[in-house]
């Protein structure tokens, strides 16, 4: 969407990205920050925006909590990504 605004991320795009990082963490596990940066550069994004995206991914992968604006807290990018199968994990009554 940034391409329609002179390749600058808008605040709501950042909020959507934060929400997806928090709501669909399995989508971002194992994703290389470097590969995302390369793709952003290929799309012609500004260095400041690439840096911001790198920081958000790094924080989310480190287990930090990102807080998007209230209206975007439930946002998830499409396509929907199912969590990996949880095999061999011991569950308790509190897990359900």
Domain ranges of the chain: 2-72
Q: For residue 95, what pLDDT is reported?
A: 47
**Structure confidence by residue, pLDDT tens digits, 75-95:** 999 987 777 665 455 555 554
CA distance 3 to 69: 22
**Nearest in space to 77 (alpha carbons), one of 18, 35, 32, 3:** 18
Residue 81 contacts residue 25 (beta carbons within 8 Å)? no
CA distance 72 to 77: 11
Q: What is the pTM of this model?
A: 0.77
């Amino acid at each position: 969407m940034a391409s329609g605004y002179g390749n600058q991320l808008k605040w709501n795009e950042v909020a959507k990205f934060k929400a997806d990082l928090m709501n669909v963490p399995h989508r971002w596990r194992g994703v290389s920050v470097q590969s995302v940066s390369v793709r952003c550069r290929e799309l012609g994004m500004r260095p400041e925006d690439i840096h911001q995206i790198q920081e958000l991914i790094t924080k989310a992968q480190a287990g930090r909590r990102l807080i998007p604006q209230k209206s975007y807290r439930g946002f998830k990018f499409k396509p929907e990504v199912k969590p990996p199968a949880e095999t061999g994990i011991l569950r308790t009554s509190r897990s359900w």
